[in-house]
Chains A and B, each alone.
Chain A
Amino acid sequence: GEDVEQSLFLSVREGDSSVINCTYTDSSSTYLYWYKQEPGAGLQLLTYIFSNMDMKQDQRLTVLLNKKDKHLSLRIADTQTGDSAIYFCAETRFNGSSNTGKLIFGQGTTLQVKP
């Protein structure tokens, strides 16, 4: 199918690690993204990973990519209340014949961080 799938809700305690999961469909996707959306705001790019990488770390964020299973995850270490937001994964899906592409978003995972 066309869908990028994410679980809809995750609740963690402050200081714990959060892991947000995503499955995508197109094995030829070259870039996969994680965006964060705070209430009433637009989407903020958190990080992205190229398809020839397995892992990318950026401060408290770790992205893991399992291309065999088409599975992407975002781990947030030492989760803070300010991390409460909706997190979207997105894949770039190219149309080789027309040399165009599109960004397909998951439904978003709402992360709730309890004090």
Chain B
Amino acid sequence: NAGVTQTPKFQVLKTGQSMTLQCAQDMNHNSMYWYRQDPGMGLRLIYYSASEGTTDKGEVPNGYNVSRLNKREFSLRLESAAPSQTSVYFCASSEALFGNQPQHFGDGTRLSIL
């Protein structure tokens, strides 16, 4: 039972480099999310996808783009990485958008921008 799988687990980038974080879920969930976690700030929503074919901005979308490739996969792209994007990134999925369906999280990608 894989649940939500994120790759890579760790990455170090130089300022200005680009990178795509991958996320896949095998629970047939409709909705998927990308969060970032910074010390003392909890989790903040970057982008979400209510269903296949749709994406919407969350609280902190600047500097990121997303693609909902199919029902299983939701990727997050940093076009030109900045030190302020050093964070732990979590992907999550749920059966329906927010509401009473809990979100299931991956183990995170730890990203450092030098």
Complex interface residues of chain B between 67 and 100 (CB less than 8 A to chain A): 90, 92, 97-100
Asked, given contacts A42-B90, A43-B90, A100-B56, whether A107 binds B41 with beta carbons under 8 Å apart, the answer is: yes
Q: Is the interface of A mostly helix, strand, loop or mixed?
A: strand
Provide the bound-state CA to CA distance between A48 and B104, in Å: 13
Q: Nearest-CB distance from B21 to chain A (Å)? A: 14
State whether A103 touches B90 (Cβ < 8 A).
Answer: no
Provide the bound-state CA to CA distance between A108 and B108, in Å: 16
Asked, given contacts A8-B40, A107-B40, A108-B42, whether A102 binds B105 with beta carbons under 8 Å apart, the answer is: no
Is B63 interfacial (CB 8 A cutoff)?
no
Interface size on B, residues (CB 8 A): 25
The 8 A CB mask of B36-52 against A (1 = contact, 0 = none) is 00001111110010100
Which B residues lie within 8 Å of A94 (CB)? 98-99
Is A44 interfacial (CB 8 A cutoff)?
yes
Complex interface residues of chain A between 34 and 71 (CB less than 8 A to chain B): 35, 40-45, 48, 50
Which A residues lie within 8 Å of B108 (CB)? 40-42
Is A4 interfacial (CB 8 A cutoff)?
yes
List the A residue with the shortest CB-CB distance to B94.
A103
B residues in contact (CB < 8 Å) with A: 4, 40-45, 48, 50, 56, 58-59, 90, 92, 97-100, 102-108
Can you list 6 A-B pairs with a CB-CB distance of less than 8 A?
A4-B42, A43-B90, A45-B102, A94-B99, A101-B98, A102-B45
A residues in contact (CB < 8 Å) with B: 4, 8, 30-31, 33, 35, 40-45, 48, 50, 88, 92, 94, 100-103, 105-108
